[in-house]
A and B are shown apart, each in its own frame.
Chain A
Amino acid sequence: EADIYQTPRYLVIGTGKKITLECSQTMGHDKMYWYQQDPGMELHLIHYSYGVNSTEKGDLSSESTVSRIRTEHFPLTLESARPSHTSQYLCASSEEGAYLHGGYTFGSGTRLTVV
């Protein structure tokens, strides 16, 4: 079944640790996105990619980095986690002309807590 997968679902980690949040999709979508979702639930775009070797920063400044070496994989990395990084991170993907179809497909999210 075509879908988008995020791991882990929940992560509690100490300050200063390096972490990678995984996101993979099986739909062959070229476009992928990372959103940070506040406790107030508003969505903020932090990174996006239009294809392999393409990455761009989103509207919200983030200390995280992303890579896109394979179409299906779009991991997000924090080199040194801090309590201010505590949030939910949502990954999404879309095909070309997403507005003609269902817009984005979202993963289930990773809830990150940095202590």
Chain B
Amino acid sequence: AQTVTQSQPEMSVQEAETVTLSCTYDTSESDYYLFWYKQPPSRQMILVIRQEAYKQQNATENRFSVNFQKAAKSFSLKISDSQLGDAAMYFCAYTGDNAGNMLTFGGGTRLMVKP
């Protein structure tokens, strides 16, 4: 079974600075997809960024980018120029060919942004 681990329960960053959230996963599949979701306080969880395992190029969405290290099974999220609105729970998630659409989530990282 696949597992997703987020080793940082909480992180904090100064506004306008850069922060990196860590995620590692365990799988025997060769083709899979990785996601980062953001859950603001009392608000809907939304997709931040997605990475296909067969793509070597790291995904980027505006201030959000990933560092995907397939051999190391690592998928970290970098947030540049942090804003107060980035404060939220961040979840790393995995799905593979055999998962039938099912996402496996990590335990989450709470990001605090200091003004």
Contacts and interface: CB of A to CB of B under 8 A. Distances in A.
Given A98-B95, A103-B50, A104-B103, A41 B108 contact: yes
Contact of A48 (B46, B95, B102): B102
A50 B102 CA distance: 10
Contacts of B103: 98, 103-104
A107 B42 CA distance: 11
B64 interface: no
B93 interface: yes
A99 B33 contact: yes
State which size class the interface on B falls in: 20 to 34
Nearest to A108: B44
B87 interface: no
Interface residues of A, number: 23
Interface string B77-98: 0000000000001010101000
Interface in A64-107: 90, 92, 94, 96-100, 102-104, 106-107
Contacts of A104: 47, 103
A60 B95 CA distance: 18
Main secondary structure of the interface of B (DSSP, over half): strand
Contacts of A48: 102
Contact of A99 (B46, B101, B107, B108): B101
A114 B102 CA distance: 29
A107 B35 contact: no
Contact of B105 (A31, A40, A43, A99): A43
Contacts of A107: 44
A85 to B, nearest CB: 20
Nearest to A97: B101
Contacts of B33: 99-100, 103
A106 B101 contact: no
Closest 6 CB pairs of A and B: A99-B33, A106-B45, A102-B47, A43-B105, A42-B107, A108-B44
21 contacts: A41-B107, A41-B108, A41-B110, A42-B105, A43-B91, A96-B101, A97-B101, A98-B101, A98-B103, A99-B32, A99-B33, A102-B47, A103-B37, A103-B47, A103-B95, A103-B103, A104-B47, A104-B103, A106-B44, A108-B44, A109-B44
